[in-house]
Structure 1
Amino acid sequence: MSRSLFLRIQPKVETYEPYFIQKRDNAQRLGLSSLQKITTALRMIAYGVTTNFMDEYVRIGESTAIESLEKFVKAMVDIFSKEYLRSLNNEDIARLLANGERCRFPRMLGSIDCMHWKWKNCPAAWKGQYSGYIREPTIVLEAVASFDLWIWHAFFGLSGSNNDINVLERSPIFSELEQGCALAVNYSIKGHEYTIGYYLTDGIYPKWSTFVKKVPSPRGQKRKLFAKAQEANRKDVERAFGVLQATFAIERGPARFFYCETL
């Protein structure tokens, strides 16, 4: 992380969460500074290291390191969610549609898919519910990503025994569309008028007008060309998952917390 980005985050977190303010104990000795606590949280997120490693590097206790991580993440969400964890606006939709035109998929809003995160310390009573096809407890993340790796929709928390269709039925991505308050995306194809954008998906998703799936076993030059273009552009969300795990190694390894709400 660049110094400028770190110094942008540190004062806002310290102002929002009093836990990060450096205090004196009863013996008038200074405690841990916000720099130490935030550095601990960022290193655990970025490198996926354990609390034992942070004890030697930042001279911080294990319980304090875990508490710093939990409070830091909550503060980040509360502070920056309005800017980075928000729904699409008209400007965002125009940018996504313009990119869809360049990719030969006009009116496309992105690619949707799911990712599983292994849950190492899943309680024994819940392992059956959270174990899916890989026979290990996992938690599912559903995301919609654009060409520039912007994940503008994220739905996290369902058990790993669910497939993409089960997750979609619980996902809030189409709640505004059902309520009739979603932003309109008007276009026509072969004389049919549409008022919603569409997403590129893999073969498991249902046959809805808002999903464009790959042609299975394409025959003929036209179908093969379409399948090739669809696969090439649908990999945006797969690439976003890869970059997410590469940037934040804590998601690449098994989750070590005990509660789903904390994860």
Structure 2
Amino acid sequence: MVIKKLKGRQGKKRVFIERNREEDHIRLWNDNFSETSTYPENLFRRRFRMNNPLFMCIVNRLSNEVHFFRQKKDGPGRLGLSALQKCTIAIRVLAYGTAADTVDEYLRLGETTIRSCVDNFMEGIIYLFGDEYLRKPTPADPT
């Protein structure tokens, strides 16, 4: 991991941490999504609070229909975060109800990026699945 000091917008020094996005994507895929994944389905379900096919359905819809979740290249031409990384971080934060920076050690994303992933994930879910799965509570719903 490379740490560099850069000057921010207001001349203050900020830290740039090289997080190796490409390697992290491969590790995430091999741990949870490949044919011979490290973790079995029951652990996936416990970690993500849903089964793998449902997770992949969500990732595929978001990556195809919501611009934020498409993988892009950054300024130097390196691939940015994959839809899988963005959705994984959002679902993990929402599933555990944790602060944004508590999942940095495994998924290696900065706090601002994590917040952006969660915000865009929630907006994307409402946009794509809201009419079918989300509704206003009724008086008959338990409190």
TM-score (structure 2 length as normaliser): 0.60
- The answer for the alignment partner of 1:35 in structure 2 is 84
- The answer for the alignment partner of 2:96 in structure 1 is 47
2:130 counterpart (69, 81, 87): 81
- The answer for the alignment partner of 2:120 in structure 1 is 71
**Do structure 1's residue 237 and structure 2's residue 114 form an aligned pair?**
no
**Which structure features the higher share of strand residues?**
1
Q: Distance in 2 between matches of 1:74 and 1:8?
A: 16
Q: Distance in 2 between matches of 1:29 and 1:83?
A: 37
Letter in 2 for 1:16: E
Q: Distance in 1 between matches of 2:103 and 2:69?
A: 17
Letter in 1 for 2:65: Y
Provide Cα deviations, 1:234-262, integer angstroms capped at 9, x if missing partner: xx714xxxxxxxxxxxxxxxxxxxxxxxx
Letter in 2 for 1:28: G
Question: Aligned runs of 1:215-230 on 2, under 5 Å?
Answer: none
**SS class of match (2:119):** helix
**SS class of match (1:237):** coil
Residue ranges of structure 1 left out of the alignment (5+ in a row) = 87-152, 155-172, 174-198, 201-235, 239-263
Question: Aligned runs of 1:52-131 on 2, under 5 Å?
Answer: 52-86=101-135
Deviation at 1:12, TM superposition (A): 0.7
Provide Cα deviations, 1:88-125, integer angstroms capped at 9, x if missing partner: xxxxxxxxxxxxxxxxxxxxxxxxxxxxxxxxxxxxxx
Q: Distance in 2 between matches of 1:48 and 1:85?
A: 20
Deviation at 1:29, TM superposition (A): 1.1
Does the Cα contact within 8 Å between 2:101 and 2:114 map onto a contact in 1?
no
Q: Distance in 2 between matches of 1:54 and 1:22?
A: 21
Deviation at 1:44, TM superposition (A): 0.8
Q: Percent identity?
A: 38
1:26 counterpart (60, 75, 80): 75
**SS class of match (2:79):** coil
**Which structure features the higher share of helix residues?**
2
Q: Distance in 2 between matches of 1:25 and 1:78?
A: 26
**SS class of match (1:32):** coil
Residue ranges of structure 2 left out of the alignment (5+ in a row) = 1-49
**Do structure 1's residue 6 and structure 2's residue 55 form an aligned pair?**
yes
Q: Distance in 1 between matches of 2:79 and 2:133?
A: 35
What's the Cα RMSD here? 1.8
| Residues matched between the structures, number | 94
Deviation at 1:16, TM superposition (A): 2.1
Deviation at 1:26, TM superposition (A): 2.2
Flag the structure with larger Rg: 1
Deviation at 1:84, TM superposition (A): 1.3
Q: Distance in 2 between matches of 1:30 and 1:78?
A: 26
Q: Distance in 2 between matches of 1:72 and 1:82?
A: 16
